A and B are shown apart, each in its own frame.
Chain A
Amino acid sequence: MELVLAIGIGVLAGSGVWLLLRPRSFQVIIGLSLLSYAVNLFIFAMGRLGTGLPPVVDPAAPIDPTAFTDPLPQALVLTAIVIGFGMTALFLVVLIVSRGLTGTDHVDGREPEQ
């Protein structure tokens, strides 16, 4: 499972960074989205990977941390998703405004000279 997740994060982050370096603003925003998915998965992995583990400690049983999943990264991911979503929406608006004002979707606001 670790290998699959690591490859998934790597592919997402790699594609994201490649798209970020592209000149068109739409590619940049897709790149940012992919990068933020990669980061969210990464935060998740920084807890502990496991399947079917309960997140809440049962006070009756003797406490063994490895038998539970860490709830904190899940809370962090949730916050990061919400913030990332809001920022992407805002960036999209600026992108459209830029397209409207400059008449091009190049990130520099003008087409490169041939």
Chain B
Amino acid sequence: MNGILTHLVILPVIVPLIVAALLLLFRDQRRAVKAFVTFATMLALLAISLTLLVMTANGASDGWVGVYLLGNWSPVFGIVLVADRAAAVMITLTSMLGAATISFAAAKWNGAGPHFHSLFLFLITGVNGAFLTGDLFNLFVFFEIMLAASYGLLLHGSSIAKVRSGLQYIAMNLIASSVFLIGVSLIYGVTGTLNMAELALRVPMVQDADRMLLEIGAATLGTAFLLKAGMWPLSFWLVPAYTAAASPVAAVFAILSKVGIYIVWRLSLLIFGLDTGPSGGLAQNWLLIGGLVTLVFGSVGVLASQGLPRLTAYSVLVSTGTMLVAIGIGGVPVAAGAFYYLVGSTLALSALFMLVELIERGRMAGADVLAVTMEAFGFEDEDVLPDEDEVGIPIPGTLALLGVNFIICALLIAGQPPLSGFIAKFAILSGIIGVQAGGAGTQIAGADWAAVALLIISGLAVLIAMLRSGINIFWATREDMTPRIGLVEIVPITVLIVSCVALTVFAGPAMTYFEATAAELHNPVGYIQSVINTVPAPYPGRGGGL
């Protein structure tokens, strides 16, 4: 593909960057204008990423891969941005979440602290960049942009709980950044390149003497991403941070843990795919074991949490565990199901984070926590917004609306029929059992069966916890007020949930697309060739185009 369309690949990165910088010039009091501009930017990004999605889907059988050479350097020397199917799905997901959360925040949260919209757009810049980049060090830079913005957003609407969890969040991520750099420089020292596609070609040729250094580098790099994703021993920062964050912030953070997963997935298949020489399949067993433990930890956490925000934060860990197990087992059928799961669960988790705030709004602080444990959870930290102005009008049947949304979210996250969560889990499970029956798996059978059992049990755990909370909230005799919610708050939640339902209704075409995505991830020849074979464009005015 050539000409002007190639430039579409850079737009998801520079558009939010420029708009965010421009928004800094306006006074923070002009919130309505800022919110509108940010929302319009997110819609534009959604249109751009949908275009990329259609373009990658309509490509030849091996897929169209959009390669953008920054500064028109040859891909060997310069930084490249690469949009293939997987990247297009992820940036579309980011734009959807972004538009929904910005709309939600417009009701009151964007006034709780300075420069909410700029920080938000910088976050989107970093996330989109991390999805699109084809260069390891550039990945580090986008990661840092994303993290810097997320520090600001986490502290947005400051309270003691936020500052306390923010301190730990920032410290953990700064350490992870150091670890990231060690991994990157080890890989560079051994292979002499940072371009992911070229790396994939060079790794099989690394000499045996250097192979251990390379594998240490890759493992170090992976640790940094797994911390972001929240794999078990690295996940203790996640629940306090996501619980303390303002609800629109937590909703957009749902995509942050998926950034870590996406990069582990992409790099492990691109650079250490199963047929790439002696280092092939380096990460698989570790990811499987880590994923299983994360599932156990997440399930226990979900069952043990008494507040809805905490429950949602632990559901993020369950989602992470499911993804890691699926990546660890590998194979195209499992990966296709996992991709479908990733999209559906991220949308549902994001919707739930926002929904929880609306549900909690009309309730007394800590109404859902047993009296015995009230003190242990420390209620002096409850967030109180600076202005307690009521937002919106009381909608008749508000509770019914919230209840319906809550049930759908619960079904989606627990992976119960009839919605997309169930289809995704079914696809993953049938993929695992298929691998088992074919004897193609490299793992011992026990681990596969443990994965099947834990995937089902974790769904049950989430379902039990959600039911318990739901009964507590919606069926209890309520003495407190019906929550007052604004239209800009409930509509984005409903849109996210409706898109999950749409994903269920159009499961056939969606699965076909995700199978192609998974096949492309597992066999990245098209990706590598597209990047390596891209030649810099001639100077403009003397022919133009590629």
Known: A90-B151, A102-B160. A39 touches B182 (CB 8 A): yes
The dominant DSSP class at the B interface is helix
Q: In this assembly, does A1 line the interface, its C-beta being within 8 Å of a C-beta of chain B?
A: no
Contact bitstring A80-108, B, C-beta under 8 A = 1, else 0: 10011011101100110110011000011
For chain A, the count of residues having a C-beta within 8 Å of the partner chain is 33
**Which of these, A35, A43, A76, A98, contacts B167 with CB under 8 Å?**
A98
Query: A39 near B164 (CB under 8 angstroms)?
Result: no
**Which of these, A36, A86, A102, contacts B178 with CB under 8 Å?**
A36
In the bound complex, CA of A38 to CA of B273 (Å): 32
Known: A35-B175, A90-B148. A46 touches B189 (CB 8 A): yes
In the bound complex, CA of A47 to CA of B160 (Å): 44
Query: A83 near B178 (CB under 8 angstroms)?
Result: no
Query: A79 near B164 (CB under 8 angstroms)?
Result: no
In the bound complex, CA of A46 to CA of B164 (Å): 37
Query: B164 near A28 (CB under 8 angstroms)?
Result: no
Which B residues touch A36, using CB under 8 A? Answer: 174, 178
Known: A32-B174, A39-B182, A87-B148. A95 touches B188 (CB 8 A): no
Which B residues touch A14, using CB under 8 A? Answer: none
Query: B182 near A42 (CB under 8 angstroms)?
Result: yes
Q: In this assembly, does A10 line the interface, its C-beta being within 8 Å of a C-beta of chain B?
A: no
In the bound complex, CA of A94 to CA of B141 (Å): 22
Q: In this assembly, does B163 line the interface, its C-beta being within 8 Å of a C-beta of chain A?
A: yes
Q: In this assembly, does A23 line the interface, its C-beta being within 8 Å of a C-beta of chain B?
A: no
For chain B, the count of residues having a C-beta within 8 Å of the partner chain is 29
Q: In this assembly, does B235 line the interface, its C-beta being within 8 Å of a C-beta of chain A?
A: no
CB distance from B217 to the nearest CB of A (A): 9
In the bound complex, CA of A83 to CA of B174 (Å): 10
Q: In this assembly, does A11 line the interface, its C-beta being within 8 Å of a C-beta of chain B?
A: no
Interface centre among A35, A80, A108 (most CB of B within 10 A): A80
Query: A94 near B185 (CB under 8 angstroms)?
Result: no
Q: In this assembly, does B181 line the interface, its C-beta being within 8 Å of a C-beta of chain A?
A: yes
Contact bitstring B144-171, A, C-beta under 8 A = 1, else 0: 1001100100010010100110111011
Chain B 85-117 interface residues, beta-carbon cutoff 8 Å to A = none
Across the two chains, which residue of chain B brings its CB closest to A46? B189
Query: B175 near A32 (CB under 8 angstroms)?
Result: yes
User: Which A positions have Cβ atoms within 8 angstroms of B?
Assistant: 20, 25, 28, 32, 35-36, 39, 42-43, 45-47, 72-73, 76, 79-80, 83-84, 86-88, 90-91, 94-95, 97-98, 101-102, 107-109
Q: Told that A42-B181, A45-B189, A79-B140 touch, could you supply 8 new A-B pairs with CB distance under 8 A?
A: A39-B182, A46-B186, A76-B185, A87-B177, A94-B163, A94-B170, A97-B158, A101-B163
Q: Nearest 4 A-B pairs (CB), nearest first?
A: A46-B189, A109-B164, A46-B185, A43-B185
